[in-house]
Amino acid sequence: MKPRPSGRTGDQLRPVRITRKFTRHAEGSVLVEFGDTRVLCTASVEETVPGFLRNSGSGWVTAEYGMLPRATHTRARREAATGKQGGRTLEIQRLIGRALRAVVDLKALGERTITIDCDVLQADGGTRTASITGGYVALVDAVNTLIQKRVLRESPIHGQVAAVSVGIWAGVPVLDLDYVEDSDAETDMNVVMNNGGGFIEVQGTAEGHAFRREELDALLNLAANGIGQLLAKQMEALNED
Amino acid sequence: MKPRPSGRTGDQLRPVRITRKFTRHAEGSVLVEFGDTRVLCTASVEETVPGFLRNSGSGWVTAEYGMLPRATHTRARREAATGKQGGRTLEIQRLIGRALRAVVDLKALGERTITIDCDVLQADGGTRTASITGGYVALVDAVNTLIQKRVLRESPIHGQVAAVSVGIWAGVPVLDLDYVEDSDAETDMNVVMNNGGGFIEVQGTAEGHAFRREELDALLNLAANGIGQLLAKQMEALNED
Amino acid sequence: MKPRPSGRTGDQLRPVRITRKFTRHAEGSVLVEFGDTRVLCTASVEETVPGFLRNSGSGWVTAEYGMLPRATHTRARREAATGKQGGRTLEIQRLIGRALRAVVDLKALGERTITIDCDVLQADGGTRTASITGGYVALVDAVNTLIQKRVLRESPIHGQVAAVSVGIWAGVPVLDLDYVEDSDAETDMNVVMNNGGGFIEVQGTAEGHAFRREELDALLNLAANGIGQLLAKQMEALNED
Amino acid sequence: MKPRPSGRTGDQLRPVRITRKFTRHAEGSVLVEFGDTRVLCTASVEETVPGFLRNSGSGWVTAEYGMLPRATHTRARREAATGKQGGRTLEIQRLIGRALRAVVDLKALGERTITIDCDVLQADGGTRTASITGGYVALVDAVNTLIQKRVLRESPIHGQVAAVSVGIWAGVPVLDLDYVEDSDAETDMNVVMNNGGGFIEVQGTAEGHAFRREELDALLNLAANGIGQLLAKQMEALNED
Amino acid sequence: MKPRPSGRTGDQLRPVRITRKFTRHAEGSVLVEFGDTRVLCTASVEETVPGFLRNSGSGWVTAEYGMLPRATHTRARREAATGKQGGRTLEIQRLIGRALRAVVDLKALGERTITIDCDVLQADGGTRTASITGGYVALVDAVNTLIQKRVLRESPIHGQVAAVSVGIWAGVPVLDLDYVEDSDAETDMNVVMNNGGGFIEVQGTAEGHAFRREELDALLNLAANGIGQLLAKQMEALNED
Amino acid sequence: MKPRPSGRTGDQLRPVRITRKFTRHAEGSVLVEFGDTRVLCTASVEETVPGFLRNSGSGWVTAEYGMLPRATHTRARREAATGKQGGRTLEIQRLIGRALRAVVDLKALGERTITIDCDVLQADGGTRTASITGGYVALVDAVNTLIQKRVLRESPIHGQVAAVSVGIWAGVPVLDLDYVEDSDAETDMNVVMNNGGGFIEVQGTAEGHAFRREELDALLNLAANGIGQLLAKQMEALNED
């Protein structure tokens, strides 16, 4: 079995760091690091909802995602200059939004919106799973701010959510792929789960050749295990201070 | 167990119809119907490739997706008038493109592009899976045109691909959801497989509550079964005339 | 006199087919065929009006036009992907809208909008005249739906409208040009008339050389004759079922 | 018979003024005035052609049209700020371009482009016909510059072109409608003719009710007469200096 | 000392002409000429304010700037066709707006907007300073219209404002650079001042090499002198009629 | 004299920190902090130049600027989602680019582009001056990378550049305004200077009332002093490691 470029075992996460209050203005502001992947997740509360929810009594949780132009090996064009967000960006921010909404009671949130902005400062694979994992912590901080300000009496968040990537690399299932592995993987899967062991989202894509049911099973096991660790990291970060 | 609105059993596809040569100009032109969902899939050959493949010797297969404004219950704004394709559209056309590329040897195609345009004339759930299933047939027809014109000596298509949606509806796993079921499903999964029983893409999303591993397993079984039938329908259509 | 490529006489229309209820969701849905030109015209009713008519008591009838990318001999770029509707598209949809509004009492329609979407599935010349001719039938069906639902007591449509192209081809005036003739015509004219023999719109363009008054007169005669037949086809379609 | 607001007879043009060399940089620069309508038409020569003409040996003549935001009674949004040219703008500039190309031998022009920019400084009806009439003079001046610079040996312009509007106002045909008449006209027609008495373009639209063949005939007669006067005005301006 | 291309002395303005009522519809309409630079400045009053001022009791003064495509030596692309205003355009119109707001009491204006459109008909350097200088006169005319209509009782304009460019050309400070000088200047500065001798805006840019404090001082002296003359020209124009 | 909110003396900078190698992929990557203002400046080298420099032998230095949506007190709309960069953004990035080009010999750089991306992670006033000051350091690092890779033999950078804001606050001139002071300043000026004491750019704007010559003089003195300190901070950072 070929060793992973990073020297990790197949079921090993990269070092995970979750730094709260990374910036000062947002109601929640978290720098999440999965190894060299670094994403700044801020949660902003606005006392308004999108048109389709107006006068519904229901709130909204949504996400936006961006990469700084030189977060990657070669400079990518700035989407603001291009004049539109690419398909990959839209796909990722839709995923982050769905994942976080899965643990929020939007009625209990009331007619307000929490926007999670996930901006990648440095990319090394797994930016979307890091965004979900860090975005959850920012969301909790923002909700706690609302509770402290007595805007809300109790938290509308009814579960915990985290995400990790898994893939078949050099013929074997591995957890939390970095950029080098990701570029080379035969299969790539992003898994989002809650703290009850339920699946929120499973997105698997064959890159090289189609994957078989037993490979899928092995990947899901790896993911469940990794997500367990990420959920613990989130709790640890939230218990600080 | 609550009966499905359409009266189908849980593992029953809607009537599937694949009409080739539906329009006259395209190298491949297929109307695919999954019940009341009707998608026109055309395959167009162009003797050029995107910039990143120029002088690479490799060809490209890509897809574009659109819905006629009144394909749905209420009129949606025309994306050409809005000035951009929405996130859902981009996500779907990226999925269709990936699924079809999974069965094509792009080197063997040579430096040319085949674009699969999937335009939904009438929507009743499952438009992306119908697009992949019908798009494959249009792709085969386009490639056969190239062979007949002696542009290619043999087909660069090395497998067959089809897709179906599955979901948990009213607590039980069901195959090929129509719009009414889809709006109401607790979990929604799109599965793309090849004729070797391998997975090309698995995209599952919890709508109501998170889904459990055994539910996931049941859904994958249903999907595999449905896709088997769709692959047969494709062959049947391709064997005509 | 050079024979027309299609073998038609100079004053002969292509076979015209008008299929109502072609799709299921729209209040009016018509597939109109002028020979190989096939346009899907749907009429959608919305209980709202554009800003300039709000609180005016008056309704609105408008049209949007699009071509599927491979409706033509070579694939055209999808306008939704390009990010804007071209000048030709805007010009055509403005024409269709004006033509249909010419037979509707907008006050009697009440503050609601009927949008006629004309999407060309296959193009072989005359897509705008086919759109007007088929769009009228879809409009009537939509209005009848409003009457059946008792939203309206009587029809605000006070006339019938149809359109045809005429041109000077190989030196002689011909009716209803197909693509081959159109590409080659010296003069091209689109004529829209009502059932009272009045002109709604006359748009003549010299392609090769300027046209003379007597040529214009001959073209208008041809057009009036062709439109008479189209008005009869519309009535025939509307009298079915 | 109701008198025209301007006191003109039905077949009377507004005072027409054509001022050449209105600005200094363009190869042709003409201020054209039809009464209070004032349009600045510049002709710019560029030694390049659009993609579809590259290496064809053929040149191109095209037009762009714009209105200063406060050319009209109420301020219109600046199209550059809105981010796109409206349908009316595109329609008009396509018309101007077609009209001018009708009198130019594009092969004889050689692979270069002449762009006629028509910017309305003040609008009072008839901006498109003034643009064509003044644009022609700017085009001639630009071509003469090319001849003086010995880029061309002889003029590729083989005819003269002018345009006027006519309409049915208060029940009678009138020539060269100003804004007040135009807003109120039952039928509105723009006619473009060459100096051989041939029609380049005829665009008639029923505003209030459909127009009859004899009305159309009367309008065309009026237009032919008016255009004769405009052609003379153009020659007069070109003969100055 | 090298003579200026125009033969002017270093502290000499170009001939300045301010023509009021240049067009007819706008509440203020001024053609301002600084030598061969000609800008049409119109002031339009609208009884509405931008969102951020709604119900604030305060009005707004803003500016938009544009260049006709052939105002310059070579044709520039029309911003309406390009689909956006360039950075230079936005920068200039923001400057004009700030400069004019500096002399208006927005509360006293009441909840209405005055938009100053500055459209360059012919460019020869100094278009932004001409726009401010002419825009002020158009603004005064628009306010006087409001007073005449008894919409306002007294003028909310509490000062006079004008602008001029200065620069280091061929080693010496010069006033009011034309295009030839501007292209060649080592330092370029735009200065906006009021009639109390106060600075509203100072924008100096080193083109060739950095400029020294004593050069800056000399430029400011030149500018103050030139602006004094421009303020007098404005009063002269406003005192006519 | 009213004390500054931060307790600083009038001529005191905020604590300045310049952290090199903040991210890993860019040729230069600097986090610059002026108190609570934090900007990530990356310098990216690309072996290509904009069209207007192709085959000129000359290189290019340019800048792009962005703010993360929640860098500020309230969330701003993401420019990538809005579809365009606002006027303020364009103005700032043009300023940064000009300032840095002022110390680079573009011929000596050779036909390559260095892009300085300045992304504001947290804003507290002075983001443009921090961007220039930090961007310079990133630029030096990128150039040194080119020298180490033997792409360049010697540095094309011939000077040092830094920037600071100054303003009249509570009636007195102060250095390096933070957000609270900036919102409240009567005059706001950004000054860019090189290490020879020359001015690269001076941009002063009266906010409340016009500023007098002696105030301008005082502000320029303050700025020169502050920039001296910033130039020293840059050298200190560059001398590390």
CA angle C121, C124, C130 (to 5 degrees): 70
Lookup: tokens for C157? 């449509």
Question: Residue D34 is which amino acid?
Answer: F
Lookup: tokens for B97? 């493109």
pLDDT in tens, D138-194: 999 999 999 999 999 999 999 999 999 999 999 999 999 999 999 999 999 999 999
Place of tokens 């090199």: F20
Instruction: Please answer yes or no on whether E210 and F200 come within 8 Å at the CB atom.
Output: yes
Identify all chain D residues contacting E25, using CB atoms and an 8 Å cutoff: 70-73, 122-123
Q: What is the reported pLDDT for D1?
A: 74
What H or E segment, with its residue span, contains residue D46? strand D37-46
Mutation pick from E84, E92, E105, E199 vs chain F, by most beta carbons of F within 10 Å, is E199
Alpha-carbon separation of residue A13 from A31, A126, A226, B18 (angstroms): 17, 11, 7, 46
Lookup: tokens for E140? 């005064």
DSSP for F112-132 reads -EEEEEEEEEE-SS-HHHHHH
Confidence of residue D219 (pLDDT cuts 50, 70, 90): very high
**Pick from B125, B61, B52: nearest CA to B94:** B61
> Residue D80 and residue E83: Cα distance in Å, rounded?
6
pLDDT in tens, A82-119: 999 999 999 999 999 999 999 999 999 999 999 999 99
Minimal CA separation from F49 to chain A, in Å: 14
Minimal CA separation from A25 to chain F, in Å: 5
> Residue B213 and residue B211: Cα distance in Å, rounded?
7
**Pick from E106, E107, E127: nearest CA to E118:** E127
The torsion angles phi and psi of F151, rounded to 5 degrees, stand at: -80, -40
Q: Are B194 and B136 in contact (CB under 8 A)?
A: no
Place of tokens 């996931």: B216
Q: Are C120 and C37 in contact (CB under 8 A)?
A: yes
Place of tokens 């735009």: E190
Kindly report the pTM of this predicted structure: 0.95
Put simply, whether A213 touches B (Cβ < 8 Å) is yes
- Name the average pLDDT for chain C: 96
pLDDT averages per 10-residue partition of chain E, 241 residues: 92 98 98 98 97 95 98 96 94 98 97 98 98 98 98 97 97 96 94 97 92 96 98 97 73
Burial of D180 (0-12, 13-18, 19+ CB in 10 A): middle
pLDDT in tens, F119-136: 999 999 999 999 999 999
Minimal CA separation from D75 to chain E, in Å: 7
> Residue C157 and residue C138: Cα distance in Å, rounded?
12
For chain C, strand residue ranges (E) read: 16-20, 28-34, 37-46, 60-67, 113-122, 161-169, 172-175, 187-194, 199-206
Q: What is the reported pLDDT for A209?
A: 85
Q: What is the reported pLDDT for C241?
A: 73
Put simply, whether A79 touches B (Cβ < 8 Å) is no
Q: What is the reported pLDDT for F209?
A: 84
Q: Is 90 exceeded by the pLDDT of residue F207?
A: no
Beta pairing, strands C28-34 & A161-169:
unpaired
Q: What residue spans define the domains of chain C?
A: 16-74+85-239
Confidence of residue D208 (pLDDT cuts 50, 70, 90): confident
> Residue B11 and residue B1: Cα distance in Å, rounded?
14
DSSP for chain A reads -PPPTT---TT-PPPEEEEES-SSSSSEEEEEEETTEEEEEEEEEES---GGGTTSS--EEEEEEEE-TTSSSSPPPPHHHHTS--HHHHHHHHHHHHHHHTTB-HHHH-S-EEEEEEEEEE-SS-HHHHHHHHHHHHHHHHHHHHHHTTS-SS--B-S-EEEEEEEEETTEEEES--HHHHHH-SEEEEEEEETTS-EEEEEEEESSSPBPHHHHHHHHHHHHHHHHHHHHHHHHHHH--
pLDDT in tens, E91-109: 999 999 999 999 999 999 9
> Residue D216 and residue D129: Cα distance in Å, rounded?
18
Minimal CA separation from D131 to chain C, in Å: 18
Confidence of residue D228 (pLDDT cuts 50, 70, 90): very high
Q: Are B207 and B188 in contact (CB under 8 A)?
A: yes
C129 is in an annotated binding site: no
Question: Residue B227 is which amino acid?
Answer: I
Long-range contacts of A231-237 (CB under 8 A, 24+ apart): A231/A160, A231/A162, A231/A195, A233/A16, A233/A18, A233/A133, A234/A18, A234/A133, A234/A136, A234/A137, A234/A160, A234/A162, A235/A160, A236/A18, A237/A18, A237/A19, A237/A20, A237/A30, A237/A137
For B89: left if phi > 0, alpha if psi spans -120 to 50, otherwise beta; the answer is alpha
Minimal CA separation from A108 to chain F, in Å: 23
Put simply, whether A197 touches B (Cβ < 8 Å) is yes
Edge-to-edge strands, sheet with C28-34: C16-20, C28-34, C37-46, C113-122, C60-67
Q: What is the reported pLDDT for B241?
A: 74
Put simply, whether C188 touches B (Cβ < 8 Å) is no
**Pick from C183, C173, C179: nearest CA to C37:** C179
Name A148's bridge partners: none
Lookup: tokens for F11? 């001529």
Beta pairing, strands C113-122 & C60-67:
parallel
What H or E segment, with its residue span, contains residue F79? helix F79-82
Instruction: Please answer yes or no on whether C102 and D206 come within 8 Å at the CB atom.
Output: yes
Q: Are A131 and A41 in contact (CB under 8 A)?
A: yes
pLDDT in tens, C45-72: 999 999 999 999 999 999 999 999 999 9
DSSP for chain E reads -PPPTT---TT-PPPEEEEES-SSSSSEEEEEEETTEEEEEEEEEES---GGGTTSS--EEEEEEEE-TTSSSSPPPPHHHHTS--HHHHHHHHHHHHHHHTTB-HHHH-S-EEEEEEEEEE-SS-HHHHHHHHHHHHHHHHHHHHHHTTS-SS--B-S-EEEEEEEEETTEEEES--HHHHHH-SEEEEEEEETTS-EEEEEEEESSS-B-HHHHHHHHHHHHHHHHHHHHHHHHHHH--
The torsion angles phi and psi of E5, rounded to 5 degrees, stand at: -55, -35
> Residue A161 and residue A136: Cα distance in Å, rounded?
7
Instruction: Please answer yes or no on whether D203 and C206 come within 8 Å at the CB atom.
Output: no
Alpha-carbon Rg of chain B, whole angstroms?
18
Minimal CA separation from D178 to chain C, in Å: 21
Confidence of residue C5 (pLDDT cuts 50, 70, 90): very high
> Residue F230 and residue F5: Cα distance in Å, rounded?
22
What H or E segment, with its residue span, contains residue F90? helix F87-101
> Residue B84 and residue F130: Cα distance in Å, rounded?
36
Place of tokens 């009006």: C49
Query: Residue C47, SS3?
Result: coil
CA angle B194, B195, B198 (to 5 degrees): 50
C127 is in an annotated binding site: yes
Put simply, whether E150 touches D (Cβ < 8 Å) is no
List of residues 6+ apart from B113 with CB closer than 8 A: B45, B46, B48, B49, B50, B59, B60, B61, B62
Put simply, whether C115 touches B (Cβ < 8 Å) is yes
> Residue D6 and residue F153: Cα distance in Å, rounded?
77
Q: Out of A75, A85, A122, name the one closest to residue F115 (CB).
A: A75
**Pick from A61, A26, A66: nearest CA to A43:** A26
Identify all chain E residues contacting D25, using CB atoms and an 8 Å cutoff: 70-73, 122-123
DSSP for D64-130 reads EEEE-TTSSSSPPPPHHHHTS--HHHHHHHHHHHHHHHTTB-HHHH-S-EEEEEEEEEE-SS-HHHH
pLDDT in tens, F6-44: 999 999 999 999 999 999 999 999 999 999 999 999 999
Minimal CA separation from D209 to chain E, in Å: 31
Q: Is 90 exceeded by the pLDDT of residue F90?
A: yes
Put simply, whether E211 touches F (Cβ < 8 Å) is yes
CATH 3.30.230.70 describes domain A16-74+85-239: yes
Put simply, whether F25 touches A (Cβ < 8 Å) is yes
Annotated binding site of B for phosphate: 88, 126-128
Put simply, whether E83 touches F (Cβ < 8 Å) is no
Put simply, whether A205 touches B (Cβ < 8 Å) is yes
Lookup: tokens for C94? 């403005």
Share of chain C above pLDDT 90, in %: 96
Identify all chain F residues contacting A85, using CB atoms and an 8 Å cutoff: 80-81
> Residue F17 and residue A239: Cα distance in Å, rounded?
30
Q: Out of A25, A80, A123, name the one closest to residue F80 (CB).
A: A80
> Residue A19 and residue A31: Cα distance in Å, rounded?
5
Identify all chain D residues contacting E89, using CB atoms and an 8 Å cutoff: 80
Q: Which residue has the higher pLDDT, F184 or E223?
A: E223
Put simply, whether D112 touches E (Cβ < 8 Å) is no
Put simply, whether E200 touches F (Cβ < 8 Å) is yes
Q: What is the reported pLDDT for E99?
A: 98
Q: What is the reported pLDDT for F241?
A: 73
The torsion angles phi and psi of B131, rounded to 5 degrees, stand at: -60, -45
Q: What is the reported pLDDT for B174?
A: 97
Q: Is 80 exceeded by the pLDDT of residue A224?
A: yes
Q: Out of B23, B69, B122, name the one closest to residue C24 (CB).
A: B122
Q: Are E187 and E167 in contact (CB under 8 A)?
A: yes
Q: Is 90 exceeded by the pLDDT of residue D207?
A: no
